[in-house]
Every structure is written in structure tokens, then in C-alpha cells.
Amino acid sequence: MVARHDQTTDPGLQENLLQARRGTAFFARKLNELTDAELDGDTLLPDWNRRHVLSHVGYNARAIARLVEWAATGVETPMYPSPEARNHEINFGATLSPIALRNLFDHSAVHLSVEWRDLPDANWANEVRTAQGRTVPASETVWMRTREVWVHAIDLDNGATFNDIPTTVLERLLKDITSAWKTRGTNTGLFIKTTNTAGNGTELTFGDTTATDPTIITGPLPAVVEWATGRGTTGVTATGQGLGGASRNEVPPPPKWI
């Protein structure tokens, strides 16, 4: 039987799909290293154990697949009926048996990948709506899933770190986060510098470039993204006192991202 391939012929989209699938495989590897009993263990997220993270990632694939179906058919199929329904779904999923939770992840990931595979080139520009109410082209669903699987693989607290995430994903994630801060006006007095990006000495800068005495967050790209996502301060330093009155040299908590 001849293998079926993605219908899209866009090289950039093909590369993005590859990163999403690699992230899914990475999450699967970290999940499969855990015993069933270890699924009850804590994660990097407050109030969520590994069952909650696994439930969320599984149901997230189903929700994103609904958006791809929307783009394919033109029939509106929202990610979730409501925020309350999403939360209920995650909490319910966390009560499933280990084998059911693992099957949820496996089957939903395959379903989403097939929906992507079968979406014609012309349909990737069709607009859908995210759970936050943003209207985006269907191509954005690939990035939505990419950041979910890579970051939540780290949240499993099973040895994965931000150093495991590809540089291109880290850069886009940091741009997303800092753009959200700018839109909300919460980045005032905050300036970010990454050092030695991709190991080649490249420096990236983000944030408030107009402040006279900003808080400057500095560190390698993986460490800065770890801080920006609210998952730790290891490897970053802070100078100045711009953000929220933070004292000089104290690494402040990042503004809310999601």
C-alpha cells in the first residue's frame, strides 16, 4: 500500500508540520518513560499532576482537529463549547485509567496528524477561531499544537528541559509571549536580551525599548524562555528596576502570558 503524504506543497508549512510532529514524538517519549503509577506525580504546573497534563494534551489535539475540520468543510466547529467545558474535560480525563489516558494521547495525536495531512493547499488559509477568540488561518493550528507538545513535555517533570526544544521553536515562542505582553501593556519597563542564541553568539532583544531604567533580563535563549513561561529563573539574571518596582538584580516574575 502506497503511503499517503501531506497534501500541502508549501515548504514552510511542511517544515512547521515536521516540528509539530517531532514535538509530539518528544512528548510521547517522555510519557512512555513514566510508569502508570508515576502518572500520579506532580508537574511544573500548580494544581496539575501528570494525569492533568496528559489529559489536556490529548483533548487539545481533538480540539485543534476540530478547527482543521472547520477549515476543510466550512462548517463551524469550535475548539470547545465554553471555557468551563474545556476545564471539565481536562478534569474528567485526569480520572481515566492509565491505559485510557495513554490511548487518548496516541489516538488524538494520530487523528490530528491525519486531519493536517488531508487538508488541501487552498484550505490552509481558511479562517478559524481559537479558544481565546482570535481569528486565525488554519495554518496557525500547527503552531498552536507545536508549543503545546514541546512545553508540556517539560511540564511532565521527567527530565526534559527547554534546552531540548529546537531553537526555531524557542524563538517563535518568545516572540509570541512578548507580543502578548505588549498587546496587554504589561511589558512596561521590561527589556529582554538572549545570549549566544543557537550557539553562534547571536543576540536577540525583546520588550520595552523606551524605558529609561528598565529591568533587563539576560540569559541563554532556553533559560529566558523558561523564565518567560513562568517555569523558573535558572540561568537568567536581572539588572535595573523597571518592572513593577522589582528591586535591582532580583529576577522578577514574568507578566502573565496566557
Judge if 40 and 147 occupy the same domain: yes
Residue 136 grid cell: 486565525
State which H helix or E strand residue 127 sits in.
strand 127-129
Residue 57 counted as domain residue: yes
What is residue 1's predicted lDDT score, i.e. its pLDDT? 44
Q: Which residues, other chains included, contact 193 with Cβ-Cβ below 8 Å and sequence gap of 6+?
A: 203, 204, 205, 216, 217, 218
Judge if 90 and 206 occupy the same domain: no
Judge if 73 and 34 occupy the same domain: yes
Reported as a single tens digit per residue, the pLDDT across 16-47 is 999 999 999 999 999 999 999 999 999 999 99
Judge if 37 and 132 occupy the same domain: yes
Residue 2 counted as domain residue: no
Q: CB–CB of 157/52 below 8 Å?
A: no
Low-confidence ranges of the chain (pLDDT < 50): 1-2, 243-247
Domain boundary among 116, 131, 160: 160
Q: Which residues, other chains included, contact 248 with Cβ-Cβ below 8 Å and sequence gap of 6+?
A: 239, 240, 241
Residue 255 counted as domain residue: no
Full residue range of the structural domain in which residue 131 is found? 11-160
Long-range Cβ contacts of 8-11 (<8 Å, 24+ apart): 8/119, 8/120, 8/121, 8/124, 9/121, 10/121, 10/124
Judge if 179 and 153 occupy the same domain: no
Residue 257 counted as domain residue: no
Judge if 58 and 146 occupy the same domain: yes
Judge if 123 and 233 occupy the same domain: no
Residues in the chain: 258
Q: CB–CB of 25/17 below 8 Å?
A: no
Three-state secondary-structure class, residue 109: helix
Judge if 150 and 191 occupy the same domain: no
What is residue 31's predicted lDDT score, i.e. its pLDDT? 98
Judge if 117 and 86 occupy the same domain: yes
Judge if 29 and 149 occupy the same domain: yes
Domain boundary among 130, 160, 190: 160
Residue 233 counted as domain residue: yes
CA distances from 112 to 68, 127, 145 (A): 8, 17, 10
Q: CB–CB of 82/132 below 8 Å?
A: no
Q: Domain containing 23 — which CATH number?
A: 1.20.120.450
What is residue 191's predicted lDDT score, i.e. its pLDDT? 86
What is residue 208's predicted lDDT score, i.e. its pLDDT? 77
Q: CB–CB of 203/195 below 8 Å?
A: yes
Report how many domains make up the chain: 2
Q: Domain containing 222 — which CATH number?
A: 3.30.1050.20
Residue 246 counted as domain residue: no
Residue 251 grid cell: 529576577
- Give one DSSP letter per residue of 57-74, joined into a string: HHHHHHHHHHHHHHHHH-
Residue 74 counted as domain residue: yes
Whether the full predicted model's pTM is greater than 0.85, yes or no, is: yes
Residue 127 counted as domain residue: yes
Judge if 53 and 151 occupy the same domain: yes
